[in-house]
Amino acid sequence: MQDKSKIGEILSTLDKDLPQALDRLMEFLRIPSVSTDPAHKDDVRQAAEWLTAELTAMGFDASVRDTPGHPMVVAHSPKGTRRPLLFYGHYDVQPVDPLNLWQRPPFEPEIQDLPEGKVIRGRGAADDKGQLMTFVEAFRAWKTVHGELPTDLVLLFEGEEESGSPSLRPFLRDNADELRAGIAMICDTSMYSDGRPAITTQLRGLYGEEIILRAADRDLHSGSFGGLAANPIQVLVNALSTVKDADGRITLPGFYDGVEELSNELRADWEDLGFDAGDFLSRVGLKHPIGEKGRTGLEMVWNRPTFEINGISGGYTGEGFKTVLPAEARAKVSFRLTGTQDPDAIRDAFRAHVRAALPEDCSVEFHPHGGSPGSRMDISDPAFAAAKSALSEEWNREAAYIGAGGSIPIAGDFKEILGMDSMLIGFGRDDDRIHSPNEKYDLESFARGARSWARILAALA
Amino acid sequence: MQDKSKIGEILSTLDKDLPQALDRLMEFLRIPSVSTDPAHKDDVRQAAEWLTAELTAMGFDASVRDTPGHPMVVAHSPKGTRRPLLFYGHYDVQPVDPLNLWQRPPFEPEIQDLPEGKVIRGRGAADDKGQLMTFVEAFRAWKTVHGELPTDLVLLFEGEEESGSPSLRPFLRDNADELRAGIAMICDTSMYSDGRPAITTQLRGLYGEEIILRAADRDLHSGSFGGLAANPIQVLVNALSTVKDADGRITLPGFYDGVEELSNELRADWEDLGFDAGDFLSRVGLKHPIGEKGRTGLEMVWNRPTFEINGISGGYTGEGFKTVLPAEARAKVSFRLTGTQDPDAIRDAFRAHVRAALPEDCSVEFHPHGGSPGSRMDISDPAFAAAKSALSEEWNREAAYIGAGGSIPIAGDFKEILGMDSMLIGFGRDDDRIHSPNEKYDLESFARGARSWARILAALA
């Protein structure tokens, strides 16, 4: 039985070894593991191998596990008698474009000493390599102090989180006995604003779709055909403009089936957070919430489903002008889902909506992306209270139960396939610029994140 | 006074020298004079110099004339006593993208012997280098037979027609005395279908606009901001979807001011052409006219104004998915104008329409392109009847007065600045793929085009 009282020693070890921990993180960040881009396939594998080598050196039984896509990293600490804990993170990162907006190369990370504090700058610093390494450094410090790893840990680190996790569910199914634990710890979320530690208890799901519309068999000159021939950009624009109404509500039939109103308890908690949407938006140069009428800002981002156009292209977009009716137009769109909304039903409704907008001369091709419902955790599990208390202690502030607007389908997958709940604890901040140029992770998030996990490990031992 | 009766000799000379004429055209087509792309600036000048050298060698007083943009080529034949004739064409060409759809390199032209006849394949073959050279070869044959050029010719060849002709109007104003003639001949139009020769007596005008919408100061993650922050693609799509109503009519206030109904005479002529919109569209893989309800196909393309989205871009459009709310979105749109529609008034109405669709957090930037009203010729000038008769003789078919859906603002500029009407005669065909990959010009169009100009020159002497 490991000794809970050594937590003070573990925390000092983490503080003392921070420079070495940062060196390791920098090395990890220099691997351009962009999972969505086939050109980076080898880099993704290299990141998996790097992690496996780190974990093996610490005493884990770790391996790179092949899948039809990018590999998984799975590691186990020695068997013992505690409630098994699974730790999940992802080692792949988002693409970097537009590259010209980066102030330094995205895969040449550095520690920057800014007036507001030190930050780790580079692609993946916050999402999710920096967060993932808070786990790893906590385990390492435990090992240093106790001479052995905490028992009954299962680590699962994914390489396809930023590209829709196509291999994840089959992998969980095929390795269910090996991976099943008492509860899962997921480190892919943020703190509440200004350093208030938080446990995310609900997440939005995601369903995305690429749409390709085609009309003529070539690009047409608008002087010869304009006014007569179908223009696929116009058809696409017409279809996409009517998915939401003037009040920001989505018009697809049955879309809101399964969307749940907040419980009074959570509504009260969220109000207590004092969220100011205008202030939140001002960090990215905006001021005015544009979402569904009659909803609070936190509801808009945490508890209400959305429709967003993530990309659109068609026709001539280079220098100068070309008066063309293009042969095709494309868009990538996505829905964030809440409650028990069914991604399959929404896919059908969306496709029917697009098809209904097509004139006879247009054809459409759909390529789905993702497709996972939202998740809500059962916070009556005592592990939640224990973790909340450990977090409050580390940060000297009452930790909060919050929601998240993003999609971490893994939480739903753990529930469905492995029958376990998840605790979503992360130390990201809203200004981390994840998925954008100049991503960063606060040094404080990294250092106190690792300390937080050490405390949570101790509390759950 | 030149002898009109030598026309037979001139026509035989053209027939005999066709191989040399084609060699010259191939040389001209190999110069990639894409005016809209700054990377081709030197190529555009090279095309001007090539033309000038050709004309000088034939006895014209020819020169490359600088402008703030690409140069003009101006040439004069000796002064005489006939009604001065101005010949206008353009030596610049459209961009070639998408390059991957070309069956051979666009600037390596070749003569192809197809089952339906020989064609000259390459960018600019029909628009407008091949057509322009029908002038030049007619003049050359005249010179060969008569020993001297026809007198009182003024040639004006432009290098910016495919990029909005920014230098043309100032150039016409600054050189009005030198360029003014009795009537202008413009070789940038098509025959009516299936080799029926035609004189185009009305053209649509053009006003284009690039729109850049901006919202947040960076790309946002749709998990963190989706549902709360303005998405400029959605705003753009909303604005562009409401420019036309369900009947294909444009909704901008005052848009139809100045649009004229067809005269009964022209309506009867056009009906006589037996245009079948479904058949016309079937050549590009389409079937169903999609234009303004209650209008004939020829009205849609020749006599009604249009709105087209020529290009759109925004957000993530690469491989895979990126759930981003982009910082900006762009579109290039254009209106074809008829009657006396005022491009300035339409620009104001369109910009007001876009601004009205903007939420508070969005800003817009406009970059206008072109801006020329439609043109209608006065066909009571006896030169029209003379040219119509010469064309009918060459092609053994009654030539037709037709309209054109494209914009050749030069005709309006000649009227406004030089006070002269234009005769628009060209030998292009609807399947020439101008502005598209694999552009071609029929060998018959080139050969009989030059013969036609020889006949018209003789008829107007």
Is B204 part of the contact surface with chain A (CB cutoff 8 Å)? yes
Q: Is residue B287 part of a domain?
A: no
Residue B409 binned pLDDT confidence (cut-offs 50, 70, 90)? confident
Is the model's pLDDT at A192 over the cut of 90?
no
Is the model's pLDDT at B400 over the cut of 80?
yes
Is the model's pLDDT at B3 over the cut of 70?
no
Residues A150 and A251 placed together within one structural domain of the fold: no
Which residues lie closer than 8 Å to A362 by C-beta, 6 or more apart? A213, A214, A215, A230, A232, A235
- Provide the pLDDT for residue B193: 75
Quickly tell me which residue has 């450990």 as its tokens.
A390
Question: Which residue of B lies nearest to A164 if distances are taken between CA atoms?
Answer: B321
Which of A337-341, A447-451, B191-195 has the highest mean predicted lDDT (pLDDT)? A447-451
Phi-psi region of A314 (alpha: psi -120 to 50; beta: other; left: phi over 0): left
Q: What is the pLDDT of residues B326-347, one digit of tens each?
A: 999 999 999 999 999 999 999 9
Percent of chain A with pLDDT over 70: 99
Nearest CA distance, A293 vs chain B (angstrom): 11
Instruction: Tell me which of B310, B319, B363 to substitute to probe the interface with A (most A C-beta atoms closer than 10 Å).
Output: B310
- Provide the pLDDT for residue A400: 87
Residues B36 and B130 placed together within one structural domain of the fold: yes
Is the model's pLDDT at A1 over the cut of 50?
no
Which residues lie closer than 8 Å to B249 by C-beta, 6 or more apart? B292, B293
Residues from chain B that touch A336, judged by Cβ atoms under 8 A, are 222-223, 226-227
Radius of gyration of chain A (CA): 23
**Average pLDDT estimate for B150-154:** 96
Q: What is the pLDDT of residues A369-396, one digit of tens each?
A: 988 888 888 888 999 989 999 999 999 9
For chain A, the average pLDDT equals: 94
CB neighbourhood size of A271 (10 A): 12
Residues B216 and B341 placed together within one structural domain of the fold: yes
Residue A407 binned pLDDT confidence (cut-offs 50, 70, 90)? confident
CATH code of the domain containing B364 = 3.30.70.360
Residues A390 and A336 placed together within one structural domain of the fold: no
Percent of chain A with pLDDT over 90: 82
- Provide the pLDDT for residue B5: 64
**Average pLDDT estimate for B354-378:** 93
Picking from B288, B309, B316, the nearest residue to A310 by CB comes out as B316
Is the model's pLDDT at A409 over the cut of 80?
no
Q: Is residue A35 part of a domain?
A: yes
CA B53 to the chain's CA centroid:
25
Residues A322 and A358 placed together within one structural domain of the fold: yes
Return the minimum-mean-pLDDT range out of A434-448, B146-160, B354-368, B371-385.
B371-385
CATH code of the domain containing A161 = 3.40.630.10
Residues A311, B306: C-beta atoms closer than 8 Å: no
Residues 131-190 on B with a CB inside 8 Å of A are 163-164
Residues B328 and B393 placed together within one structural domain of the fold: no
- Provide the pLDDT for residue B122: 98
Please answer whether residues A85 and A401 qualify as being in contact, where contact means their C-beta atoms are separated by less than 8 angstroms. Answer: no
Rounded to whole angstroms, the Cα distance separating A221 from B405 reads: 10
Residues B51 and B177 placed together within one structural domain of the fold: yes
Is the model's pLDDT at A142 over the cut of 70?
yes
Nearest alpha carbon to residue B127 among B404, B361, B452: B404
Residues A311, B312: C-beta atoms closer than 8 Å: no
Is the model's pLDDT at B126 over the cut of 50?
yes
Q: Is residue A128 part of a domain?
A: yes
For chain B, the average pLDDT equals: 94
Is A68 part of the contact surface with chain B (CB cutoff 8 Å)? no
Is the model's pLDDT at A329 over the cut of 70?
yes
Residues A223 and A333 placed together within one structural domain of the fold: yes
The larger pLDDT score, comparing residue A270 to residue B175, is at B175
Q: Is residue B288 part of a domain?
A: no
Is the model's pLDDT at B155 over the cut of 50?
yes
**End of a domain among B350, B372, B394?**
B372
Is the model's pLDDT at B130 over the cut of 90?
yes
Residues A239 and A188 placed together within one structural domain of the fold: no
Return the minimum-mean-pLDDT range out of B12-16, B111-115, B127-131, B428-432.
B428-432
- Provide the pLDDT for residue B1: 39
**End of a domain among A328, A355, A372?**
A372
**Domain containing A245: what range?**
205-259+305-372
Is the model's pLDDT at A236 over the cut of 90?
yes
Is the model's pLDDT at B199 over the cut of 60?
yes
Please answer whether residues B292 and B304 qualify as being in contact, where contact means their C-beta atoms are separated by less than 8 angstroms. Answer: yes
Residue B4 binned pLDDT confidence (cut-offs 50, 70, 90)? low
3-class secondary structure per residue, chain A: CCCHHHHHHHHHHHHHCHHHHHHHHHHHHCCCCECCCHHHHHHHHHHHHHHHHHHHHHCCEEEEECCCCCCEEEEECCCCCCCCEEEEEECCECCCCCHHHCCCCCCCCEEEEECCEEEEECCCCCCCHHHHHHHHHHHHHHHHHHCCCCCCEEEEEECCHHHCCCCHHHHHHHCHHHHCCCEEEECCCECECCCECEEEEEECEEEEEEEEEECCCCCEEHHHHCCCCCCHHHHHHHHHHCCECCCCCECCCCCCCCCCCCCHHHHHHHHHCCCCHHHHHHCCCCCCCCCCCCCCHHHHHHHCCEEEEEEEEEECCCCCCCCEECCEEEEEEEEEECCCCCHHHHHHHHHHHHHHCCCCCCEEEEEEEEEECCEECCCCCHHHHHHHHHHHHHHCCCCEEEEECCCCHHHHHHHHHHCCCEEEECCECCCCCCCCCCCEEEHHHHHHHHHHHHHHHHHHC
Q: Is residue B241 part of a domain?
A: yes
- Provide the pLDDT for residue A4: 55
Residue A5 binned pLDDT confidence (cut-offs 50, 70, 90)? low
Residues A184 and A149 placed together within one structural domain of the fold: yes
Written as one letter, the residue type at B37 is D
- For the sheet with A110-114, list strands across it: A110-114, A117-121, A440-442
Residue A2 binned pLDDT confidence (cut-offs 50, 70, 90)? very low
Residues from chain A that touch B361, judged by Cβ atoms under 8 A, are 281, 286-288, 290
Which residues lie closer than 8 Å to B2 by C-beta, 6 or more apart? B142, B146, B148, B150, B151, B461
- What b/e readout covers A113-122, taking b as 16+ CB neighbours within 10 angstroms? eeeeeebbbb
Residues B310, A321: C-beta atoms closer than 8 Å: yes
Instruction: Tell me which of B35, B203, B308, B439 to substitute to probe the interface with A (most A C-beta atoms closer than 10 Å).
Output: B308
3-class secondary structure per residue, chain B: CCCHHHHHHHHHHHHHCHHHHHHHHHHHHCCCCECCCHHHHHHHHHHHHHHHHHHHHCCCEEEEECCCCCCEEEEECCCCCCCCEEEEEECCECCCCCHHHCCCCCCCCEEEEECCEEEEECCCCCCCHHHHHHHHHHHHHHHHHHCCCCCCEEEEEECCHHHCCCCHHHHHHHCHHHHCCCEEEECCCECECCCECEEEEEECEEEEEEEEEECCCCCEEHHHHCCCCCCHHHHHHHHHHCCECCCCCECCCCCCCCCCCCCHHHHHHHHHCCCCHHHHHHCCCCCCCCCCCCCCHHHHHHHCCEEEEEEEEEECCCCCCCCEECCEEEEEEEEEECCCCCHHHHHHHHHHHHHHCCCCCCEEEEEEEEEECCEECCCCCHHHHHHHHHHHHHHCCCCEEEEECCCCHHHHHHHHHHCCCEEEECCECCCCCCCCCCCEEEHHHHHHHHHHHHHHHHHHC
Q: What is the dihedral of CA A358, A359, A365, A370, to 10 degrees?
A: -10
Rounded to whole angstroms, the Cα distance separating B386 from B376 reads: 19
Residues A154 and A234 placed together within one structural domain of the fold: no
Q: Is residue A99 part of a domain?
A: yes
Residues A217, B284: C-beta atoms closer than 8 Å: yes
Q: Is residue A293 part of a domain?
A: no
ipTM value for the complex: 0.76
Rounded to whole angstroms, the Cα distance separating A107 from A346 reads: 37
The larger pLDDT score, comparing residue B190 to residue A11, is at A11
Token pair listed for A386: 């224990």
**Average pLDDT estimate for A103-127:** 97
Q: Provide φ and ψ at A316, rounded to 5°.
A: -90, 125
- Provide the pLDDT for residue B2: 45
Instruction: Tell me which of A165, A228, A407 to substitute to probe the interface with B (most B C-beta atoms closer than 10 Å).
Output: A228
Number of domains in chain B: 2
Q: What is the pLDDT of residues A285-315, one digit of tens each?
A: 999 998 899 999 999 999 999 999 999 999 9
**End of a domain among A344, A372, A400?**
A372
- Provide the pLDDT for residue B330: 98
Nearest alpha carbon to residue A263 among A419, A376, A138, A353: A376
Q: Is residue A276 part of a domain?
A: no
Residues B12 and B149 placed together within one structural domain of the fold: yes
Is the model's pLDDT at B236 over the cut of 80?
yes
Is A204 part of the contact surface with chain B (CB cutoff 8 Å)? yes
